[in-house]
Amino acid sequence: MKEKNYITSKGLEKLQKELKNLVHKERVEITKVIAWAAANGDRSENADYIYGRKKLREIDRRINFLSKRLENIEVVNGRDFNSDFIQFGAKIIVKNEAGRPREFRIVGVDEVDLSQGNISWKSPIGKSLLGHKVGDEVSVKTPKGLDYYTILEISYAALENQT
C-alpha cells in the first residue's frame, strides 16, 4: 500500500493545472516542433529535432511523475481542524532562540515554498512541530546542530485562502 500524499485543495488544483498544461499545451507544441524538424531532413545534426526530443522526454517524465503523485492524493482542509495542537494545515508563529518570530504553515510535500513559509509535514521542522501546542519549546535537529523554537500561535485558517 502506497503512502498517502496529503495536500491542500489549493495544492491539488495547482498540480492538476500543471498536468493539464503539460498534456494539452506543452506536449502538443513540442510534438509539432519535432515533426517540423524531422521533415527538414538529416536528424543527426538537426538541433531543433535533438532539442525537441530531449524536451519531450522531460515533459513526459514530469507528466508521469505528476500522474503518480495524483494517484495517492488525500486532500486535507484546514476547516476540518479546531485543535490546540499542531496538525497538517496549521499556520504557526514561533520565535527562535534570538527571539525573532517566524511563520510557518504545515503543507504537503508538493506545496513547499519556503519564501511563503510553507513547510512540509515531513520536513525536520514540520515533524518537530506536529502535535505540540502554544507555549511548547521544540527542538529541531539540523546539520548545524539543534535549533529551538517556542510556539507562540496556532491557527487553522482555510487552506484554500493561503497564498
Residue 66 and residue 73 in contact, taking contact as beta carbons nearer than 8 Å = no
Among 75, 109, 134, give the residue marking a domain's end.
Answer: 75
Q: Please, which residues have CB within 8 angstroms of residue 159's CB and are 6 or more apart in sequence?
A: 8, 9, 10, 76, 77, 78, 79, 89, 107
Partner residues linked to 65 by β-bridges: none
Task: Say yes or no: 70 and 84 in one domain.
Answer: no
Task: Say yes or no: 26 and 82 in one domain.
Answer: no
Task: Say yes or no: 14 and 88 in one domain.
Answer: no
Task: Say yes or no: 105 and 134 in one domain.
Answer: yes
Q: Give the range of the structural domain holding residue 42, as residue numbers without chain letter.
A: 5-75
Task: Say yes or no: 70 and 34 in one domain.
Answer: yes
Report which residue type is found at 134. Answer: V
Question: Which segments of the chain have a pLDDT < 70?
Answer: 1, 78-82, 157-163
Distance CA 146, CA 144 (A): 7
Among 45, 60, 75, give the residue marking a domain's end.
Answer: 75
Instruction: Supply the mean pLDDT for the chain.
Output: 88
Among 31, 52, 75, give the residue marking a domain's end.
Answer: 75
The whole-number pLDDT of residue 66 equals 95
The whole-number pLDDT of residue 160 equals 47
Task: Say yes or no: 71 and 82 in one domain.
Answer: no
The whole-number pLDDT of residue 163 equals 43
CATH number of the domain to which 83 belongs:
3.10.50.30
The pLDDT tens digits of the residues spanning 47-58 come to 889 999 999 999
CATH number of the domain to which 9 belongs:
1.10.287.180
The whole-number pLDDT of residue 135 equals 94
The whole-number pLDDT of residue 81 equals 63
